[in-house]
Amino acid sequence: MSNEIESLLPHRKPFLFVDEIVSADNEKIVAKHVFSEKEFFFRGHFPQYPVVPGVILVETMAQSGGAGLRKLGVLGGDALFFLGSVDKVKFRRQVRPGDEVRCEIENLRVSPKMIKQAGKAYVGGELAAEAEWLCLVGSPAGSGPGQPTSALPR
């Protein structure tokens, strides 16, 4: 992981799942992450047969999408983005320790208050997971307008 990723995302270890932004443009973002055997969740999911939890794969795709948008300058430096909904999730292949996941993210709709993206996560050429999600965009608590709310925009 590079310092660039830490400058693009507010997440930190052990909950940072992007190692590199391979490419980013207004339509598509491609990012990578290698799931090390030292990931915290492998100790309990499952000790005898470690597998990346599906929710972590969704989080990996969402972080990839957010980092790509920040790299493009679409999201301000202090903007935070929070998952508001996740739809059309399918898991196609297990992801194991040592696997490199390549996320291909499509920007469906991006505005100052909301991000709608769709993503696919691959291991090699094999589809591991896919989903669509909506993130609410806001500022850190106490910094004024644009704070995230618990209600989704209508």
**Least confident segment among 71-75, 123-127, 140-144:** 140-144
pLDDT of 144 above 50: no
pLDDT of 86 above 90: yes
pTM (predicted TM-score): 0.90
Q: Which residues are catalytic?
A: 45
pLDDT tens for 22-80 read 999 999 999 999 999 999 999 999 999 999 999 999 999 999 999 999 999 988 778 89
Sorted by where each begins, the domain ranges of the chain are 3-138
- Reduce the DSSP state of residue 67 to 3 states and report it: helix
Give CA–CA dist 154/136, Å, rounded. 12
Neighbours of 67 (CB within 10 A): 28
- Fold exhibited by the domain 3-138: Thiol Ester Dehydrase; Chain A (3.10.129)
